[in-house]
Amino acid sequence: MSSAQATSFFLFHTTCNVCITIRNKVAQIAKMTYDGIILSRQLNANFRVAQQLAGSGDFKGMSVAEVANFINQKTL
């Protein structure tokens, strides 16, 4: 292998490692963002359900926040 080939291989290998690192970071950020969106939507849905259930049936005497907390513990 000539020195030009070795240099070319080294640069290609280094570039690939940089690309892999960047791809992994982007994937990590995308996953954290997606997980945050899903959690937010679940908490919002739980709160809307808690508003409907508070003070009635099995939840008589409980506030919306208490019912929401109960639902969050069961679903998260």
pLDDT tens for 8-44 read 666 666 667 778 888 899 999 999 999 999 999 999 9
Q: Residues with Cβ < 8 Å from 76, sequence gap 6 or more? A: 39, 42
Domain that residue 55 falls in: 3-75
pTM of the model: 0.69
CA–CA dist 27, 61 (Å, integer): 45
Helix (H) or strand (E) holding 76: none
Does residue 2 have a pLDDT over 80? no
CA–CA dist 18, 74 (Å, integer): 42
CA–CA dist 50, 69 (Å, integer): 9
Q: How many independent structural domains does the chain possess?
A: 1
Question: In the prediction, which pLDDT does 3 show?
Answer: 62
Over range 4-8, report the average pLDDT.
60
Question: In the prediction, which pLDDT does 45 show?
Answer: 97
